[in-house]
Amino acid sequence: MRLTIVYDDKKGTNEDLIPDHGFSCYIETGTETVLFDTGTDGKILLHNMEVLKKDPEKISKIIISHEHYDHNGGLQALLPLLGPATIYRIGKEPSTDMIQQITVEQPQQITTDIFSTGRLDGYPKDEQSVLLRGSKGFYVLTGCSHPGVKQILQAAKKQENIIGIIGGFHGFDMFDLLKELDHIYPCHCTVHKEKIRKLYPETSHDCFVGATIEI
């Protein structure tokens, strides 16, 4: 499975990409393409996808972690470019004729090798994360971790053994929780990126717009 970060706050080495506050991850499973979150600005999202040669028409499913502008803001610009697709979100958002919408409450399978944690209580927004089945184990992909990284990992571990975590951690500072993980990618809104990199130099990795992660 290949993950490409198409929207993130941090700039990478590709000067043609635009960093911006928000998050989106383009997931290629080998049989299906899934987009996790859509960033803030649709123009930036589509620009970055074009630079990275990630085709919107290949997206069959979209997962929105939570209903904040920096995670659902690019959706409207993306909709006209999609083929038949389904969106999974936890909010009771207005439906659209352009796409099938499923409201997620309980843990469920999204597609082969991708599973939702279901709705997790969080402040100021409830949120869903997803579990990704990699070649050596499962990873958790988060939006902002409003429910807390601890709660997200606990929910994920009820379904599978977790070897890695990718995404925004917000103000998470319970660093010992990361000891058991083999792969840590702090992205987007993570406040303590440098601390995590310092504590776990061998297992933590930089996350930035354009980053590619093979799992």
Q: What is the C-alpha separation between 79 and 56, in angstroms, rounded?
A: 9
**Predicted pLDDT at 96:** 64
The greatest distance separating any two alpha carbons of the chain, rounded to the nearest whole angstrom, comes to 48
Tokens 């960033």, located at residue:
39
Give tens-digit pLDDT for 72-120.
Answer: 999 999 999 999 999 999 976 666 667 899 999 999 999 999 999 999 9
- Fold of domain 2-214: Metallo-beta-lactamase; Chain A (3.60.15)
Give tens-digit pLDDT for 174-204.
Answer: 999 999 999 999 999 999 999 999 999 999 9
Tokens of 145: 């971790």
| Overall pTM > 0.85 | yes
What is the pLDDT confidence band of residue 205, given thresholds at 50, 70 and 90?
A: very high
Over residues 61-70, mean pLDDT: 97
